[in-house]
Chains A and B, each alone.
Chain A
Amino acid sequence: MSTGILEKEIAIREHRLGSIIGFKGIVKDLISESGGCALKNSGRCFSQASSCMSGSVQGYLAEIYYSVIVNHAPVGCAADAIGGNTLTKWSEKTRGWKNWTPRNIGFFSTNMSMEDTVFGATEKLKDTIREAYRRYKPPIALLRLRIVFTVWGSQDF
C-alpha cells in the first residue's frame, strides 16, 4: 500500500477510512449495514469531516517527550493543544513511569494577528523560536505551519 508520504495534500479522513458522519434511516439499519463499508455518507450542509486533522497531529506531536512545539498560527489554532496536553498527562500517568512527575507539553504559539496574515510574521516566528529555546533548551523542536501560513506562504524559509 502506498503511504502517500510525498503528497502535499491528503484526502480528508472520512474518504480515507470510508467512514461516515451522516446517516438517514433507522438504528436497526445502521447497525446491520455498518462494518462492511456498505454505508454511504449522507451529505451535510457544511461539514466535510468529523474533526479537524490538526487535532490528530497535535496529539501525536505532544506525546514526543522532551519536544517543544512552535505553532505558527493565530492563537485560536492553539486550542487543540489543550486536549493534547490533557491526554498526554493522562497517558503518561497511566504508564506508571519511575520518577515521573506531571508535565505540560512544551507549546508556543506565535499568536499571529490579522495584520500578520497579510504582511507576514517572520520576526514573530523567529522571536518565538528563540524564546522557546531559552525556556526549554529542547533536544527536539517541532515547527507547525498552520492553515493561515500555508495559504499565505512565505519566501523567508
Chain B
Amino acid sequence: MLEKQFITDGVTLEYQEGIKDEFTKFNDGIQAEVLFSNDGGWVQEEIEKIEFSGRVLLIGSAWERVFAKKINGFHLSVSMPVADRLVLNTTYVGYEGALRLLEDIYTEIITNSQNS
C-alpha cells in the first residue's frame, strides 16, 4: 500500500497536481499518496486507521502534540501553528536548513525515547 502524505495548508486546486508530482521524484522509488485537507481532525482519524510497525514520527504543527502523545508517537512542529517552540534564528530552507531539520527530528526521538 502506498504511504500517505497529508498536506493541511489549504492548497488551492491549481497547485495540488504540481505538489503531487513532487512526491514521485524521490530517490529509491519512495512515493506517497498525497491527500489535501485543512481538516486536522479528519487527518488524525485517517492516521489512526493506519497500522504502524513502530513508533510514529508526526511532522506537523502544535495541534498534533496531544494526538502524538495519544498514539505514543514522536512529534515535531514545522508548520503553523508552531506554538510549542521558540524560533529566533532557524530555518529549514536550503542545505543547512535540511541539516537543522535532521538535528531536530533526531533530537526529538533521542529525548522523547529517554524521557517519556
Looking at chain A's contact residues, is the secondary structure mostly helix, strand, loop, or mixed?
A: helix
Contacts of B69 in A (CB 8 A): 101-102
* Inter-subunit contact A82/B83 (CB<8 Å): yes
Q: How far is the CA of A89 from the CA of B69 in the complex (A)?
A: 14
> Is A95 interfacial (CB-CB < 8 Å)?
no
CA distance A82 to B84 in the complex (A): 11
Q: Are B38 and A75 in contact (CB under 8 A)?
A: yes
Interface flags, A106-150, vs B, CB<8A=1, else 0: 001001000000000000000000010001000000000000000
A41 within 8 A of B: no
User: Size of chain B's interface in residues, with CB distance under 8 A?
Assistant: 11
A75: which B residues are within 8 A, CB to CB? 10, 38
Contact check: which of A82, A89, A108, A111 meets B81 at CB < 8 Å? Answer: A82
The answer to whether B83 touches A104, judged by C-beta atoms less than 8 angstroms apart, is no
- Residues of A82-102 at the interface with B, using a CB-CB cut-off of 8 Å, are 82-83, 85-86, 89, 101-102
Least CB distance from B47 to A in Å reads: 14
Query: Does A103 count as interface, using CB distance less than 8 angstroms?
Result: yes
> In the complex, what residue of chain B is closest to A128 when comparing beta carbons?
B39
Complex contact B62–A82 (CB within 8 A): yes
Chain A residues with Cβ below 8 Å from B36 are none
The reply to whether B66 and A102 contact each other, CB–CB distance below 8 Å, is yes
| B97 located at the interface, meaning its Cβ lies under 8 Å from any Cβ of chain A in the complex | no
Q: Is the CB of A85 within 8 A of B63?
A: yes
Contacts of A86 in B (CB 8 A): 62, 83-84
A75, chain B: closest CB distance, angstroms: 7
The 4 closest A-B pairs by CB, nearest first: A82-B81, A86-B83, A104-B66, A102-B66
Residue numbers of A with Cβ under 8 A of B are: 75, 82-83, 85-86, 89, 101-104, 108, 111, 131, 135
- In the complex, 20 of the A-B residue pairs with CB atoms within 8 angstroms, ordered by the A residue number, are A75-B10, A75-B38, A82-B62, A82-B81, A83-B83, A85-B62, A85-B63, A85-B83, A86-B62, A86-B83, A86-B84, A89-B66, A101-B69, A102-B65, A103-B66, A104-B63, A104-B66, A108-B41, A111-B38, A135-B41
Which residues of B does A touch, CB under 8 Å?
10, 38, 41, 62-63, 65-66, 69, 81, 83-84
Instruction: Known pairs A85-B63, A86-B62, A89-B66; list 17 more (Cβ under 8 Å).
Output: A75-B10, A75-B38, A82-B81, A83-B83, A85-B62, A85-B83, A86-B83, A86-B84, A102-B65, A102-B66, A102-B69, A103-B66, A104-B63, A104-B66, A111-B38, A131-B41, A135-B41
